[in-house]
Structure 1
Amino acid sequence: MRRVLAVAALALVVVIGGILAFTSPPRLLSLYDRAAGGGAGARQVAEGVAFGSHGQSLDIWLPESAASDADLPVVIFWYGGGWAKGDRTAYAFAGRALANQGFLVVIPDYRKVPQVRFPAFLDDGAEAAAWVEDNIAQYGGDPTRLAFMGHSAGAYQAIMLALDSKRLVAAGADPSNVKAAVGLSGPYDFYPFDSPRSIAAFSQWPQPEETQPITYASADAPPLVLVTSEGDETVRPRNTNNLAAKLRELGAPVEVINYGPLDHEEVVMALSKPFRSKGPVLADSARFLKAQMGE
């Protein structure tokens, strides 16, 4: 009997190990978040909705009690992954967290390296914004109250699209509907390219300054919150500090929040219920977004 139990236990370990080997850390975090009660108060109302011209898809989250005609402010959240990996379904924890704060949340996919290079992933982001403006009312969102948000490469998406309004216009979106943006641990001033991922994603572009969000800083930028942390050794705080300094010099509204010792991943992990005690990332982001979108 002991032998049978030992074999069964070993088999279970092998199965669990196999599952973990093929499950990304964000996906594991979403599973943990749901098990810890992070799903209470939020519901997914759409999954894998097609948008854009390259087979992209998106998910939509709502507060549990929201009606279909709720007219909620909308947050489009882009995940990170160095422009090379990641997918919308692994970031359910972010969708649930923001929906629990009273937002309709859209998490879109975008094409990645090596299939594409700059600016294809940004164009996908702009197409997501255009789809939201055209369609989100039927899910209970207000298309005139949009905010962009993201982590790491997703923060690059969010801040670049908030600053470079021409890309939104080219996709058929109205930049005046973008009321605010939050960048969590994002790269905004990282030329010359000195990491394998930035080299792969951007080095082929003939005008490297056009790849940098700091290039598009202007006095009429929407209000921004830029989050960084001294413990981030993946995207150094200078990215946030340099962009914020440029925006302030121009008179644009920008707030910098530094979460001290948190590392690059801990900043986004703090959106989830199990790790919310690491720092008030969710509370600070929600406070800012509600103030800018009239909630």
Structure 2
Amino acid sequence: RVGYRWITKLLALGCYAMLLMPGFLQVAYCYFFSNKVKRSVVYGDQPRNRLDLYLPADVSKPKPVLVFVTGGAWIIGPYNSTSVSLLSLPISAVYKAWGSLLGFQLAERGIIVACIDYRNFPQGTISDMVNDTCQGISFVINNIASYGGDPNRIYLMGQSAGAHISSCALLKQATMESGNGDGVSWSVSQIKAYFGLSGG
């Protein structure tokens, strides 16, 4: 009796996954084969200090920029060469899909999207995640013009754990600015607006 329930639930889950598969494949295809996606742009010296840029078709004029810090319960992120497992690959695909879906939609509307990756637990602490995010924001602010972005129209968005981390990054930066300003490579005033979704 219990075995029958498990089998029917497993079959239902399999059918659900099959229905979603075309959408996942489309996102994966666009992510890996689109010439409007700059994948794994290095912004720091840690293995996870990478970001993906989603560019509009026309960058003849400077475009607004959204810096997106995705969530994942402080533990989920894209796989890298040091942490590949069969379990991590589907989770990594979901992580990339969050940023890809937003990136493609906004790029179609003329907005550049920079999806920042950062160290997760157990690779790093919350402080490491905040430092990585600050460094990623700094990279975008100081380099986005070379990708067609407008450094005077940069917005920050975080989702779930990413909302928590990005709001902490803003607070850390504001605290540094209110001190003597040593080591400040960007200013909170350069962020036009902050959006915290499902957290932050």
If the length of structure 2 is used for normalisation, what is the TM-score? 0.67
- Which deviates further from its counterpart, 73-82 or 158-167? 158-167
Structure 2 counterpart of 1:70, from 61, 65, 68: 61
Conserved? CA contact 2:40–2:51, under 8 Å: yes
Which residue does the alignment assign to 1:184?
Answer: 197
- The Cα of 1:174 is off from its aligned counterpart by 2.1
- The Cα of 1:101 is off from its aligned counterpart by 2.8
- Cα separation, partners in 2 of 1:127 and 1:171, compared to 1, 3 Å: farther
Conserved? CA contact 2:131–2:169, under 8 Å: no
1:59 aligns with 2:52: yes
Render the CA deviation track for 1:78-137: whole Å, top value 9, x for unaligned.
111111012363321111122223211000110010111121101100000111122111
If the length of structure 1 is used for normalisation, what is the TM-score? 0.47
Q: Which has the higher Rg, Structure 1 or Structure 2?
A: 1
Equivalent residue of 1:119, what SS? helix
Q: Aligned partners of 2:120, 2:61: CA distance in 1, in Å?
A: 34
Q: Aligned partners of 1:144, 1:175: CA distance in 2, in Å?
A: 12
Q: Aligned partners of 1:153, 1:121: CA distance in 2, in Å?
A: 10
Structure 1 counterpart of 2:113, from 105, 109, 129: 105
1:81-96 equivalence runs, <5 A: 81-87=72-78, 89-90=96-97, 91-96=99-104
Kindly, what percent of the aligned residue pairs are identical?
Answer: 33
- The Cα of 1:157 is off from its aligned counterpart by 2.3
Partner AA of 1:89 in structure 2:
K
Equivalent residue of 1:63, what SS? coil
What is the number of residues matched between the two proteins? Answer: 158
- Cα separation, partners in 2 of 1:30 and 1:85, compared to 1, 3 Å: farther
Q: Aligned partners of 1:98, 1:160: CA distance in 2, in Å?
A: 25
Unaligned runs of 5+ in 2: 1-13, 79-94
- Cα separation, partners in 2 of 1:71 and 1:86, compared to 1, 3 Å: same
Render the CA deviation track for 1:125-180: whole Å, top value 9, x for unaligned.
00001111221111100122211112100111232333442368745112221010
- Cα separation, partners in 2 of 1:92 and 1:167, compared to 1, 3 Å: farther
- Cα separation, partners in 2 of 1:150 and 1:43, compared to 1, 3 Å: farther
1:1-295 equivalence runs, <5 A: 31=24, 34=27, 44-55=36-47, 56-64=49-57, 66-67=58-59, 69-87=60-78, 89-90=96-97, 91-164=99-172, 165-166=174-175, 170=183, 172-186=185-199, 188=200
Partner AA of 1:175 in structure 2:
V
Unaligned runs of 5+ in 1: 1-16, 189-295
Q: Aligned partners of 2:176, 2:128: CA distance in 1, in Å?
A: 11
Q: Aligned partners of 1:144, 1:114: CA distance in 2, in Å?
A: 36
- Cα separation, partners in 2 of 1:52 and 1:157, compared to 1, 3 Å: same
Conserved? CA contact 2:51–2:117, under 8 Å: yes
Q: Which structure ranks higher in relative contact order (CA pairs < 8 Å, sequence separation ≥ 6)?
A: 2
Q: Aligned partners of 2:166, 2:36: CA distance in 1, in Å?
A: 22
Q: Aligned partners of 1:160, 1:80: CA distance in 2, in Å?
A: 14
Render the CA deviation track for 1:187-217: whole Å, top value 9, x for unaligned.
x4xxxxxxxxxxxxxxxxxxxxxxxxxxxxx
Conserved? CA contact 1:79–1:152, under 8 Å: yes
